[in-house]
Amino acid sequence: MGINVALDGPSGAGKSTIAKMAAGKLGFVYVDTGAMYRTIAYYVIDKGIEPDDTEAVIKALDGISIELKNEGTQQVFLNGENVSGLIRTPEISMGASKVSAIPKVREFLLDMQKDIAKKNDVIMDGRDIGTVVLPDAQVKIFLTASAEERAKRRFKELQEKGDTSTFEEVLADINQRDYNDTHREIAPLKQAEDAVVVDSSSLTLEQTADEIIKIITEKTAKKKERKVRELMPVHPISKERKYSRVKLVFYTILRYIVMGLYHIYYNISFEGTENVPKDGGNVFASNHRSYQDPVFIAIKTRVPLSYMAKEELFKQNVFFTALIKFFGAFPVSRGKGDTAVIDTAIEKLEMGRNLVIFPEGTRSKDGKVGAGKTGVALVAAVAQTRIVPVGIVFEGKLGFRKKVVIKYGRPVTPAEIGVTGTDPRSLKKLKLKIMEEITKLVY
Ligand code: DC
């Protein structure tokens, strides 16, 4: 989809003139949908059909082919004939207002309007563009002005063309069309909830155009910015060994003791241990089944690991807090978009620890792997480090001699799947890849 700007508002607010100016300046295609309704009105009136004779108008649609061509300005062709100059009379204006209330007529034009917007950067003006035709438009503007002001402008325009209508007639005409356009059942003229309102009553044409160009530029620039917005700067961690021998020996002894105890207590086995890196600074992304999970994972990793644990666990009692801290836990406040915790996670990796993250954020009771949160991808993308997928598999509840299998998958690096930044799209891609790898191990 190109950039779509929806410009709606009542008759005579200056939409077409402004849209033309803005489209010219921004290099967009200007699409005047009112001209399409006018063309249908012109066709039926020319055939002697009353524009509010619904059945006859619907029948007549079969004989109509409308084309919009850009020949410097937008030109409308009806069955191959350029009718651009013929559709601007008061009679056709009123006729257009009437035929536009017929649902089949709107349907007839809708696909054509959507199609143009799909293929081009457009400013499309009309009554229902922001609400019905292009509900996903990046920019929606509702341009309005008082009925008197609009009548004054239209009156001047008509006089210049040699039309003899009086000001009162023009004003009555505007009021009538406002009424028709806002009171019809289908796609009435209505401001989209997310539209920016511009009142041009006390603005000149140039001032209004400037205001509208400013809105479009700001909104579309923001969108481009957002597209490439990085959540955090990438800062690849250094891989040099940071642990003293003494510390590592101490950790290894402890690890073997725990390994022995766990082998006695559980019927535990490991698969894919060749996938476990010998160094630190890796992310282990695992499904989450029990409070033992960090220990299960640690048994086969040679350097100490850290893991995020929910804040509540640190509030139980001082001994428990000291214990989990000693085993590398650090607190995370869930669901609060805690960004400081990402910094802490990166620090742990920088220190040379491995980092265990449970992307699901909560334990799964039935063993099924749930949806992952983005944090794991953000940490791995910032650190540009390996992610080792882990699957923890057991049935029911953990207990004495329970069969538990810990499976380590092939490590994935963000770069190998093309993730070199932390923009939302990259993070989503990385997260999905991680969850896919975990899921493969579990099922
Ligand atoms: O914008 P305009 O005055 O040229 O439009 C002519 C009529 O067409 C107007 O009275 C309402 C109708 N119209 C519509 O119903 N929906 C649109 N998107 C555009 C115009």
* Per-residue pLDDT tens digits for 60-87: 999 999 998 877 778 999 999 999 999 9
pLDDT at 48: 97
**4-225 carries CATH number 3.40.50.300:** yes
Task: Compute the distance from residue 302 Cα to the ligand 1 centre, in Å.
Answer: 72
CATH topology of domain 245-442: Glycerol-3-phosphate (1)-acyltransferase (3.40.1130)
> How far apart (Å, rounded) are the C-alpha atoms in residues 431 and 115?
34
Contact status, residue 390 vs residue 441, Cβ threshold 8 Å = yes
Range(s) within the chain of domains with CATH label 3.40.50.300: 4-225
Give the rounded percent of residues in the chain with a pLDDT score beyond 90: 65
> How far apart (Å, rounded) are the C-alpha atoms in residues 209 and 141?
12
- Residues forming a β-bridge with 331: 309
pLDDT at 228: 59
The three state secondary structure string of 149-183 is: HHHHHHHHHHHHCCCCCCHHHHHHHHHHHHHHHHH
Task: Compute the distance from residue 181 Cα to the ligand 1 centre, in Å.
Answer: 8
Q: Which residues line ligand 1 (CB under 6 A)?
A: 11, 33-34, 37-38, 93, 96-97, 100, 126-129, 177, 181
Does the predicted TM-score (pTM) go above 0.75? no
Q: Pairing mode, if any, of strands 66-71 and 73-78?
A: antiparallel
Task: Compute the distance from residue 268 Cα to the ligand 1 centre, in Å.
Answer: 73
Range(s) within the chain of domains with CATH label 3.40.1130.10: 245-442
- The residue among 46, 22, 43 whose CA lies nearest residue 32 is 22
Compute CA 307 distance to the chain's CA centroid, rounded to the nearest angstrom.
31
- Residues forming a β-bridge with 123: 5, 30
pLDDT grade for 337, boundaries at 50, 70 and 90: low
Six-digit token string for 165: 């209508």
Nearest-CA residue for ligand 1 atom 2 is: 34
> Which residues neighbour 234 within 8 Å (Cβ) at sequence distance 6 or greater?
381, 382, 384, 420, 421, 422
Side chain identity, residue 307: Y
Q: Give me the mean pLDDT over the 235-248 stretch.
A: 78
> How far apart (Å, rounded) are the C-alpha atoms in residues 247 and 55?
89
Nearest-CA residue for ligand 1 atom 3 is: 11
Lowest mean pLDDT among 129-133, 294-298, 324-328, 368-372: 324-328
**Which ranges of 266-327 does DSSP label H, i.e. alpha helix?**
293-298, 318-326
Average predicted confidence (pLDDT) for the chain: 90
Q: Does 223 have pLDDT greater than 70?
A: no
pLDDT at 1: 64
Q: Does 339 have pLDDT greater than 80?
A: no
